[in-house]
Amino acid sequence: MNSPANAPKSPTKPASPDWWLMIRKFFQHGTTIASFAPSSRFLARKILKGIDYESARCIVELGAGTGPITKELVSRVRPHTRLVIVERDPDFCKRLRTRFAYAPNAEIIEGDAAHIDQLLADRGITHVDHIVSGLPLPSFPAEVRDAIIASSARALGEHGTFRQLTYMPLVYWQFYRGYFEDVQFQLVPLNIPPAGVYVCLKYKLVRVAA
Ligand SMILES: C[S@@+](CC[C@H](N)C(=O)[O-])C[C@H]1O[C@@H](n2cnc3c(N)ncnc32)[C@H](O)[C@@H]1O
């Protein structure tokens, strides 16, 4: 976690705009980035809608990119909530660390969401209240995706939510229904491209292929 002693008290402005870094990454890595623009604040707010910040003790974000959702999370969480932000790309991580150095309860981890079990265990985290995912899950190999969702569901328990953004509104509803009993979709037109969020509850122990 960030050391409060010499940390800045407010966001630090990066040298180049987020959209420029995102476009560069998109052209370098394509489907693992999945978007050429960071999420809008409308999308970031929608994916977090309904979270009870009073009761949340730990929230995990997977695939944070340049941090538009992280920013909303950081501004909402209470001091008692631990924020664990996982991002695989080193340049995004560098930006996230600089940007959120002022946030004492946010830990930025440069790591692969495929190792979420280990990342949580290393930190002694046994329960997570909400997982917010920007990962392009449908384009992951099936066994990696299954493992990420199964590990997430274990950490979330019965009542935690798995929140997933999508840039292909509603297309993957059946896909997420293959993993969870309860899948709510909400459209977010004010995003480039138009997007949506799935809020998923109640992991299916036996997965039915979508
Ligand atoms: C569609 S972008 C979303 C970025 C950001 N959350 C937003 O809303 O603008 C997907 C992000 O997931 C990251 N990512 C892809 N695969 C990953 C993995 N296996 N582990 C961690 N991060 C990953 C990419 O580097 C990228 O930053």
Q: Hey, what domains does the chain have and what are their CATH numbers?
A: 40-203 (3.40.50.150)
Q: How much is the pLDDT for 82? A: 98
The answer to whether residue 44 scores a pLDDT higher than 80 is yes
Three-state DSSP class for residue 36: coil
- Residue 33 CB–ligand 1 contact under 6 Å: yes
The answer to whether residue 208 scores a pLDDT higher than 70 is no
Testing ligand 1's pocket by substitution, the residue of 24, 26, 33 carrying the most ligand atoms inside 8 A of its CB is 33
What are the backbone dihedrals phi and psi of residue 127, each rounded to the nearest 5 degrees, phi first? -140, 135
Q: How much is the pLDDT for 70? A: 98
For the chain, the average pLDDT equals 91
**Whole-prediction pTM value?**
0.91
The answer to whether residue 2 scores a pLDDT higher than 90 is no
Q: How much is the pLDDT for 35? A: 77
Q: How much is the pLDDT for 210? A: 55
Output the residue whose Cα is nearest ligand 1's atom 6: 64
Q: Other CB atoms closer than 10 Å to residue 18's CB: what's the count? A: 17
CB-CB contact of 40 with 68 (8 Å): yes
Beta strands (DSSP E) in the chain are 58-62, 82-87, 106-110, 130-133, 161-166, 180-188, 195-203
Show the tokens assigned to 204: 């299916």
Output the residue whose Cα is nearest ligand 1's atom 23: 63
Per residue in 67-108, pLDDT (tens digit) is 999 999 999 999 999 999 999 999 999 999 999 999 989 999
The answer to whether residue 177 scores a pLDDT higher than 90 is yes
- Tokens 């977010």 correspond to 188
- d(CA 146, ligand 1 centre) in Å: 17
- d(CA 35, ligand 1 centre) in Å: 9
CB-CB contact of 163 with 171 (8 Å): no
Q: What is the mean pLDDT of residues 163-186?
A: 95
